[in-house]
Amino acid sequence: MAKDVKRLYRSNKEKIFGGVCGGIAEYFEIDPVIVRVIFVFLLIASFGAALIAYIIAWVIIPEEASLGKNLQEEKQGKKKV
């Protein structure tokens, strides 16, 4: 029996800057404002080091639309060469 797998992606619906906080909030099924407040707290507490982590997450975490396209291609049996 196949189980739905949760995937982390950058949100297009709850996007303010890069969609990272919105994507994390959707993954954990919480309000994006909570994630953003935690991020701002970490940004201040780490003297800006959290900004580097946000930028890295922005590069690494795929966008919601691109993830859907890859899953759709996978279901259709198409492979990128």
Instruction: Kindly report the pTM of this predicted structure.
Output: 0.73
Q: What is the pLDDT of residues 4-45, one digit of tens each?
A: 888 999 999 888 889 999 999 999 999 999 999 999 999 999
3-state secondary structure the chain: CCCCCCCCCECCCCCCCCCHHHHHHHHHCCCHHHHHHHHHHHHHHCCCHHHHHHHHHHHHCCEHHHHHHHHHHHHHCCCCC
Is a pLDDT exceeding 50 seen at residue 58? yes
Distance CA(45)–CA(77), nearest Å, equals: 47
According to the model, what pLDDT value does residue 81 have? Answer: 46
What backbone phi and psi angles, to 5 degrees, belong to 14? -105, 50
Is a pLDDT exceeding 70 seen at residue 64? yes
Is a pLDDT exceeding 90 seen at residue 53? yes
Confirm if 61 and 9 have CB atoms less than 8 A apart: yes
